[in-house]
Amino acid sequence: MSFYSVARKCLGGFFRAFYRVKVTGLENEPTEGPVVVCANHLSDHDVIILGACMKRQVRYFAKAELFKVPVLKQLVKALGAFPVDRKVATNAAASIKNTLQILENGEMVGLYPQGTRYPGVDPRTTEVKGGIGLIAYRSKATVLPVCIYTKSWKIKLFRRTYVTVGKPIPFEEFGFVNGRGAEYQKASEYVFQKITDMIPESIPDPRKDQAAEANAD
């Protein structure tokens, strides 16, 4: 059994309880093959939350600053992340190469269409970068949209966090023709639309949600 499997088995439940995660749609997660997991980005904690929810290991390229925090560094590494300094173009190119290699190996990679965190901001009002489209085009991997939402769009310990896993998007669905910048952007926006479509009309009240669970028990 891999270190990741052991860590997830020992810590996955702990972190799901820590963030009071309620996950739905896990049956949509592909059981094999290369997959790009795409989620909206609320917090640095998103990496931990997704890692604790998904059945397969999700690999990430995370900002280099996370690897400078002792405890977080070890945790992020254990989750399969690899660092990238987004300020250095050569490092960004190397990260894309690493991502494509991981997908070629049939693994899962986690990426954020927004490109950066937007704590406290409704994802539907944010911009989307074209990187997801580029990776999808070059890898021809399945894309799995995931929506993360919570009260006020701010991840906090012991505040209910909702994770909804959407239907996989096969490569053919993007309709790529030439694989240029405009197509990459269009593909990224398409993925992000799938993500934001999973946002409910109103965020559930954590207190009511907790009461409903207690009554169900």
Residues 165-186: tens digit of each pLDDT: 999 999 999 999 998 899 999 9
CATH code of residue 138: 3.40.1130.10
Beta-bridged to residue 83, according to DSSP, are 62
pTM score of the predicted model = 0.86
Total domains present in the chain: 1
Decide: 75 and 60 in contact? Cβ < 8 Å.
no
Residues 141-174: tens digit of each pLDDT: 999 999 999 999 999 999 999 999 999 999 999 9
Q: Counting Cβ atoms within 10 Å, is residue 72 exposed (0-12), middle (13-18) or buried (19+)?
A: middle
Pairing of strands 58-63, 21-24: unpaired
Provide φ and ψ at 150, rounded to 5°.
-160, 175
Residues of the domain holding 35: 3-216
pLDDT over threshold 80, residue 39: yes
Decide: 134 and 184 in contact? Cβ < 8 Å.
yes
